[in-house]
Amino acid sequence: MEAGEREEFQRVFDGGEKFTLAAIVAGLRRDGWDDEAITRYKRFHRAAKERELVTSGAAVPSSASGGAPIDVAREPRFKGPLMFVKSGQPIAAVLQRCMNDPRFSEADVEALRSHLEGNTGIVAASEPEAQPPTALMEPEPQLSKSDVVVLNPAAAFPTAQMTAAMRAIDAKSAVPMIGENVTGAGPDLAADALAGDLGYEILRDMCKASPEKQSTEEGSTSLIVRSRYIDARIMKAHAEGVRQIVLLAAGLDARAWRLPLGGDGCTLFELDVPEALAFKQAKIDAGALAAVYPGGTTCRRVPVAADLSQAEWVGALVAAGFERASPSFFLTEGLLMYLPRDGSVNRLFACVADLMAPGSTYCGDSFAGVLRGPCFQPYTEPAQAVLAKYGTRWTFDLDKGSDLEALLAGVGLELTDHTEAKGLEKALEARRKDLAATTTPVHEVVDEALATHAAELINAGFDSLHSWPEINRIWAVDLITDGDLGIDELLRTMVQKGQNYLGLKEANDATKQRVVQLLKFEHKLTERLPAIVAEQQGGGEIEAISFKDVGYFLFTSIKKSEQVVLEPEPER
């Protein structure tokens, strides 16, 4: 390293004392540094950090201090990389992640390379090409929101294995719900093989981190709702003559096998990063899909490698055979929340609209007011920590759900449906119960003492509504202000899904229905609750905030006619 470069690196290191390495690298890229210079700086940065540890007397890993050989199999920091390789990801890709992770020194990477090659017999490239950081490293407060970017589009791929695990759990259940709402379809039989051990591990971690300590079955509900919503809209478009289906960030989707798409006359394009396509193809080549779908795909499936945060994917799709002049169905499922807040979502909307002929449909999902809303922090912070453990992070949401209509209209699309997923979960549970019901009615005995005790606890709890956790309080107030129907939904939800201090977790349906009756008619909550809300809002004990425009939304939009689409402004 030349003296002038060393001085420049030291200047950057000293000036970036309060920033993460990823934040510094993002700044260097904006300043025009090339990849080779950035790679050299990273090595300088890590060496300087190790020198600081030695000077301060802190413990230094043996890789940095030249001590005993590194035991990759035992050191906790190697658990993630080893799991990625076990799940089928290429060794070279895993080494690239470690090269750009400040937790790993060059010696760590070499130790990991030796361990992997010795245990798998696969030889990686001698020097993995330096890549941008795979995970979003949250910058210090001094950086603006526009600096919050995901520099590696492949970082979120492990979450595709998690969603495959969710679909597998549904498929193994007594009453599978995915595919149930589409004639000729069925559950995702390939999901178990596609999920792998890593998919189930991430799902378990997410459920354990949730405030409710959900079971994996409970943690899969929103994915089941989303799958049913999207399946129905794909098949509606297909019934109307659409024969081009484009899955953006297809992940480990198996709709090309499980939906009745009518043969080669329908083309389903699967766009995703090369790592995702390679992982899936390896499973296909190993016979995992043929084992459960011996008839093969129900359409012509065309994989297309693409980075959806940039506009270049449009050319790749057209080159793969997409016809702009024909109606199409575009889907972004579980994608938008992982895109950078640098205008990527606006660019994506504009590209999709530009490709859509009149009569085409665009369907997707998005957070609104969740990632930056303080009342959601008890839910998002633990989830973000789990995602960070596996190399990714949620980065994008709308300020309000109602903002979506204007964003889509700005690129020539008309929003036709915008549904908060929580509402669909209630309908799902009702449908599940209908399907599980036996033909012979079962008489259930009401546990009157339990019902009376539970009703008294719930009734007393409403008197201290102002002290409830904010997210629960706002949810309750929203339902109360909806009138009798909203109050009925509130009470039924509390009885069905409330914490077990009520003693109702194992209670039969007849006892739970009795609790609702007591609350409405004995404790007169239909009349009392609006008065409680009005009194506590008037006294300033609870604020007039609503969740009706925030949450997790599913949406559908259409293109009616050709329009000139202007380049949208980046998101704030």
Per-domain residue ranges for the chain? 1-60, 158-423, 447-538
What is the mean pLDDT of each successive set of 10 residues along the chain, which is 572 residues long? 78 71 68 77 73 50 52 72 64 69 70 75 39 31 35 79 97 93 93 95 94 89 95 95 96 96 94 93 95 96 89 92 96 93 87 95 94 79 91 89 90 92 80 68 79 89 80 79 79 74 78 88 89 75 61 91 49 46
Residue 261 amino acid letter = L
Cα gap 38→58, rounded to integer Å: 27
Residues 95/84, Cβ–Cβ less than 8 Å: no
- Measured from the Cβ of residue 457, the count of other Cβ atoms closer than 10 Å reads 15
Alpha carbon 466 to its chain's center: 32
- Measured from the Cβ of residue 236, the count of other Cβ atoms closer than 10 Å reads 15
Distances (CA, A) of 208 to 156, 190, 367, 378, 382: 20, 25, 22, 13, 9
Nearest to 105 by CA among 77, 132, 126, 138: 77
Cα gap 350→67, rounded to integer Å: 55
Residue 94 belongs to what H/E stretch?
A: helix 91-99
- In three-state secondary structure terms, 125 is coil
The reported pLDDT for the residue numbered 128 is 38
Residues 85/94, Cβ–Cβ less than 8 Å: yes
Backbone angles phi, psi at 364, to 5 degrees: -170, -165
Residues 6+ apart with CB under 8 A from 374: 470
Nearest to 20 by CA among 141, 162, 123: 141
Residue 531 has, within 13 A of its CA and on its CB side, a CA count of 6
Residues 127/96, Cβ–Cβ less than 8 Å: no
> Vertex 303, ends 349 and 296: CA angle to 5°?
125
Residues 6+ apart with CB under 8 A from 396: 336, 337, 338, 339, 340, 341, 344, 345, 366, 367, 371, 571
Tell how many helices (H) and how many strands (E) occur in the chain.
Answer: 24, 7
Backbone angles phi, psi at 522, to 5 degrees: -85, -45
Cα gap 177→429, rounded to integer Å: 10
Distances (CA, A) of 9 to 137, 140, 170, 561: 21, 20, 52, 54
The reported pLDDT for the residue numbered 540 is 60
Cα gap 267→322, rounded to integer Å: 9
Cα gap 369→399, rounded to integer Å: 5
Residue 340 belongs to what H/E stretch?
A: none
- In three-state secondary structure terms, 415 is strand
Q: Taking the C-alpha atoms of 414, 417, 418 and 420 in order, what is their torsion angle to the nearest 10 degrees?
A: -170
Cα gap 175→432, rounded to integer Å: 7
Alpha carbon 136 to its chain's center: 14
Cα gap 313→307, rounded to integer Å: 6
**DSSP-assigned letters across all residues of 492-510:** HHHHHHS-GGGS-TT--HH
CATH code for 158-423?
A: 3.40.50.150
Q: Could you tell me which residues are beta bridge partners of residue 554?
A: 365, 419
Residue 128 belongs to what H/E stretch?
A: none
- In three-state secondary structure terms, 60 is coil
Burial class (CB in 10 A: 0-12, 13-18, 19+), 78: buried
How would you label 500-510 residue by residue, b for 16+ Cβ within 10 Å and e otherwise? Answer: eebbbeebeee
Q: Is the dihedral of CA 234, 238, 241, 242 positive or negative?
A: positive
Cα gap 158→152, rounded to integer Å: 13
According to DSSP H, which parts of 328-481 are helical?
344-355, 377-389, 403-409, 421-436, 448-462, 470-480
Backbone angles phi, psi at 71, to 5 degrees: -95, 90
Residues 428/224, Cβ–Cβ less than 8 Å: yes
Cα gap 572→569, rounded to integer Å: 9
Place of tokens 């914490």: 499
Residues 6+ apart with CB under 8 A from 153: 273, 307, 308, 309
Q: Is the dihedral of CA 329, 334, 335, 337 positive or negative?
A: positive
Residues 244/329, Cβ–Cβ less than 8 Å: yes
Token pair for 571: 């998101």
Residues 466/523, Cβ–Cβ less than 8 Å: no
Nearest to 182 by CA among 111, 220, 138, 233: 233
- In three-state secondary structure terms, 264 is strand
